């Protein structure tokens, strides 16, 4: 169901996706789709969270490649996230649709994106504290919240290459953690 919703959103924009069309693509009744997700908004949320989880697996791998090196780990994770965003047909469809006035999924990443922010923050906070248990948890919370919000902002409105943003945010993380 999520694969069908993904493909339709990429092909025609989320505002034009209908629950009935998703059901037809999957070969189930519309009632079955509604029983699984409830509403179109809930389907969109599930779609965005699935994409988020795929990103976070890559973020975890990028962080793990740099034990004991906060700035290098942050740079790798940010660069991965922004490069993957640029390659993601779904996220590009969300951003492109939003630029054309269809912001139906964009709030799930921004103003109503608490689930995305929470999941991303948990991954980053867990790594930062596990990497150096002596770090002040309150400072880590502030750093993680700010970094995650900045990455979402750069993903939604990219203005510099991923590598440049990765280096800049790593430099900020190093300044805050020192």
pLDDT tens readout for residues 24-55: 999 999 999 999 999 998 998 899 889 889 98
The answer to whether residue 126 scores a pLDDT higher than 80 is: yes
Query: Quick one: pLDDT at residue 100?
Result: 61
Please give the structure tokens belonging to residue 161.
């290459």
Query: Quick one: pLDDT at residue 156?
Result: 84
Measured CA to CA, the distance from residue 135 to residue 139 in angstroms comes to 8
Q: Which H or E run includes 48?
A: helix 40-64
| 53, 122 Cβ separation under 8 angstroms | no
Residue 2 Rama label (left phi>0; alpha psi -120 to 50; beta): alpha
Average pLDDT, the chain: 89
SS3 156: helix
Q: Taking residues 165-171, report their average pLDDT.
A: 96
Query: CB-based contacts of 174: which residues, under 8 Å, 6+ apart?
Result: 70, 71
CA distances from 36 to 4, 97, 136 (A): 14, 26, 42
| 106, 48 Cβ separation under 8 angstroms | no
Query: Quick one: pLDDT at residue 12?
Result: 86
Torsion sign over Cα 93, 112, 123, 128: positive
| 94, 5 Cβ separation under 8 angstroms | no
Angle (CA) 76-81-84 rounded to 5° is 120
At residue 133, what are phi and psi to the nearest 5 degrees? -65, -15
Q: Taking residues 56-80, report their average pLDDT.
A: 96
Confidence of residue 147 (pLDDT cuts 50, 70, 90): very high
Query: Quick one: pLDDT at residue 112?
Result: 72
């Amino acid at each position: 169901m999520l694969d069908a919703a993904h493909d339709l959103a990429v092909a025609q924009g989320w505002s034009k996706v209908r629950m009935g069309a998703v059901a037809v693509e999957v070969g189930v009744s519309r009632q079955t789709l509604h029983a699984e997700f409830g509403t179109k908004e809930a389907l969109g949320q599930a779609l965005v969270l699935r994409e988020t989880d795929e990103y976070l697996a890559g973020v975890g791998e990028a962080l793990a490649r740099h034990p004991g090196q906060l700035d290098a780990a942050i740079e790798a994770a940010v660069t991965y996230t922004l490069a993957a965003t640029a390659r993601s047909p779904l996220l590009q469809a969300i951003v492109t649709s939003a630029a054309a006035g269809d912001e139906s999924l964009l709030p799930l990443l921004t103003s109503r994106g608490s689930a995305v922010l929470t999941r991303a923050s948990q991954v980053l906070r867990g790594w930062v504290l596990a990497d150096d248990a002596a770090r002040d948890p309150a400072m880590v919370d502030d750093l993680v919240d700010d970094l995650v919000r900045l990455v979402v902002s750069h993903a939604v409105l990219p203005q510099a290459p991923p590598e440049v943003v990765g280096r800049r945010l790593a430099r900020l993380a190093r300044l805050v953690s020192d």
